[in-house]
Structure 1
Amino acid sequence: MEDIGSAGRRARARECARAHRSYPDVYAATEPPVFADGHGLTVVEQPWWVDDEQRTFKLVVRTDEVPRYSTLEGQTSGEHVIMVTLPEGYDTSGNTRYPVQYHLHGHPDYPDSVTNKEMFEESTAGGVPLITVAPNGSGRGWYTNWVNPPDSLGPQNWETFHLDQVIPFIDANLHTIPSRDGRAISGHSMGGFGAMHYAETRPDLFAYVGSFSGGLDLLNQAQRVAVVATTQLPTSGMPTVPPDAIFGVPVWPLDTVWNEVSPAQHVESLRGMGVALYTGDGGNLLDNAPQAVIEKVVRDTNLVTRDHLVAAGIPHTFVDYGDGSEWAEGCTGKHAQAACLKADMKHFVGILMEELAHP
């Protein structure tokens, strides 16, 4: 059988879906927006709807900033999927402009995961006028420009890809409010780190930042071990990479970059920006011990971040939902738990719609 590659398989799947899709007479099928190349991104595959609801679509781009990357199952190195959820009633030919939330996925995960799609659509159901964008961050990208990327992959400039390319690319192709007061960033787990790091690095871009169980303190030795572990685990993507590839050597006195990019200690640039942190405590350690322990470490890094925000006098929202029993049905305080993340997102979107410019 001919191997047509992941792009070919996706194209055939979409053609089959369209061929077998039937719409009632009162419902007209519409096409997703067409995207033009620009800002360093080349469109490999134009957007396609993920289902008949026609709210969420995916597209594929390439960039010289991350020409190849360690892939998870089903990914093609160098091809970056971006998933976008539009507000209900979004009109590609209309003039209404919407705020945008960029959401960064965790490790090891995909931007187009089922949980992400459900988070985005459920939190904006009922006409919430918000566009949500989830770019690829790789299983171990860590939302930074790598210090020592291996030659086999080439540059791993994830930060440049997202901040200097994806954001203006989205503004150029969708009806966005292309300014700070119409833009927010959030993320969970590894993506929570990324959201805070991006917000601190480029406060001119975002009016609000949200971290859902993000590992925010790179001075925490358990957090450092977790990051280094992602470089070595095949489940984080293949090929694996050297331990010092991302942030450099993690041991003093060679750990300068680790210290410089740690969000917990560099909150001053968030002054004037909305900040929201969400964390559980892991709940019952006998129930899914690995995810319970990870969330416990994450909570410690969030407490340090909160303390720095308090010391700096920076207003913020800090939600510590403990074992999750009073936060959301099905949330037991574990790390990367869908029920907890959905509750985080619903709460965060509620805040955004009170603070961001919108129709």
Structure 2
Amino acid sequence: MTGFLRACAVAALAVATAGFVTPAEPALPPRLADGFGLTVVSQPAWVDDGRRTFAFTVRTAAVPAYGVLPGQVQGEHVVMVTLPTGYDSTTRYRVQYTLHGAGDYPDAARNKEIIEHATAGVPLITVMPNGSGRGWYTNWADGTENWETFHLDQLVPFIDANLSTVATREGRVISGHSMGGFGAFHYAEDRPDLFSYVGSFSGGLDLLYWGQRIAVVTTEVSPLHGIPPVSPTAIFGPPGPAWRAQSPAQHVGSLRGMGVAMYVGNGGSLVGDPVQGVVEYWARQTALTTARNLDAAGIPYYFADYGDGSGWAPGCDGKHNDTECLRADMDHFVKLVMGNGP
């Protein structure tokens, strides 16, 4: 009897599993071909077992050297890409370019977590390129580092050629945090033909504001933002017309017809981290100036001016580099650009 029951159990298992195929491991990340001025130094590799986000490395003559942070290799640029779940080459996806802040890394674990959280279940590719600790997403006045050329003239067509994208203005959006918020607005204003939506998360948008000028110069001369430090006039030149020419707050007219969003706190309590509180207060002043100029130009926009953060997201304290604030900013922005927000 025992043998008979055992045989029945084996037969039942065979019937239950008939036709069942063990799911294959997720595919390797796409292989990339050189082009558009970029040379691939290392092919994409998944950053973890989740297999949604990969990083790769390129070189470019546009920025052959820059002030490196610990762990960075001189002249090499890491780019992090987060794919939609179930990405396949037969489907075309919109692309979000998102720009990191000063002193940050494009492939930092926090950046990956924030992006993956916001884009879970969303058919959107997100690309975060290296901007160095102090690149400021512009072609430098001293001619040594041309970040705008790297990102807009080289990386954008490179991504379109190597991934399954919607390679049109309507298929691209751009966002960024802090220095990256400046970069997102600056790039969108310089190249409105490339982007349909722009978002700033605590971005420093007004180069005419004294607090923002202090922030820029601090990144130039501080070794914490890259070795070696550079001259305080290396990026934008001496204070004057050149700073105004690249100040996003003063050139909002180029954003007409584009979706525009800004997110910022007021710095909250200065207890605990007064520096991050003050820097966020400065960022808010630049956002208020940008909002006034958008109003004057008759350009609609979304503005989350969330004060101390208590009403914006659990754990958000309204400071400049708070993870919970940034997670809520990105979550909301992705909903906006995908047509699911207010």
Report if TM-score (shorter chain) is over 0.5.
Answer: yes
Shift of 1:27: 4.2
Alignment match, 2:98: 103
> In structure 2, which of residues 225, 241, 247 is the aligned counterpart of residue 262 of structure 1?
247
Q: Report 1:174-189 matches (<5 A).
A: 174-189=163-178
SS where residue 123 of structure 2 aligns? Answer: coil
Q: Report 1:89-238 matches (<5 A).
A: 89-91=86-88, 94-125=89-120, 127-149=121-143, 155-238=144-227
Alignment match, 1:314: 299
Alignment match, 1:47: 44
Structure 1 residue ranges, 4+ long, deviating more than 3 angstroms after superposition = 24-27
| Deviation by residue 1:242-281 (Cα, 9 ceiling, x = unmatched) | 110000012xxxx211010100011001000000000000
SS where residue 83 of structure 1 aligns? Answer: strand
Q: 1:298 to 1:95 in 2, by over 3 A?
A: same
Shift of 1:330: 1.2
Q: Where does structure 2 lack aligned partners over 5 or more consecutive residues?
A: 1-20
TM-score (norm 2): 0.92
Shift of 1:26: 3.3
| Deviation by residue 1:314-335 (Cα, 9 ceiling, x = unmatched) | 0100111110111111110000
What do you get for the CA RMSD once the two structures are aligned?
Answer: 1.3
> In structure 2, which of residues 15, 23, 28 is the aligned counterpart of residue 26 of structure 1?
23
The one-letter code of the counterpart of 1:38 is G
Q: 1:121 to 1:324 in 2, by over 3 A?
A: same
Shift of 1:286: 1.6
The 2-side partners of 1:26 and 1:42 are apart by 35
The 2-side partners of 1:28 and 1:298 are apart by 44
| Deviation by residue 1:329-350 (Cα, 9 ceiling, x = unmatched) | 1110000211101100000000
> Which structure has the larger Rg?
2
Q: Where does structure 1 lack aligned partners over 5 or more consecutive residues?
A: 1-23, 150-154
Alignment match, 2:329: 344
SS where residue 33 of structure 1 aligns? Answer: coil
The one-letter code of the counterpart of 2:295 is V
Shift of 1:25: 5.0
| Deviation by residue 1:126-156 (Cα, 9 ceiling, x = unmatched) | x21000000000000000000015xxxxx30
The one-letter code of the counterpart of 1:258 is W
SS where residue 128 of structure 2 aligns? Answer: strand
SS where residue 59 of structure 2 aligns? Answer: strand
| Deviation by residue 1:197-247 (Cα, 9 ceiling, x = unmatched) | 000000000000000000000000111011011111010000000110000
SS where residue 102 of structure 1 aligns? Answer: strand
TM-score (norm 1): 0.88
Shift of 1:62: 0.2
SS where residue 338 of structure 2 aligns? Answer: helix
The 2-side partners of 1:145 and 1:270 are apart by 20
Q: Report 1:49-68 matches (<5 A).
A: 49-68=46-65
The 1-side partners of 2:303 and 2:158 are apart by 32
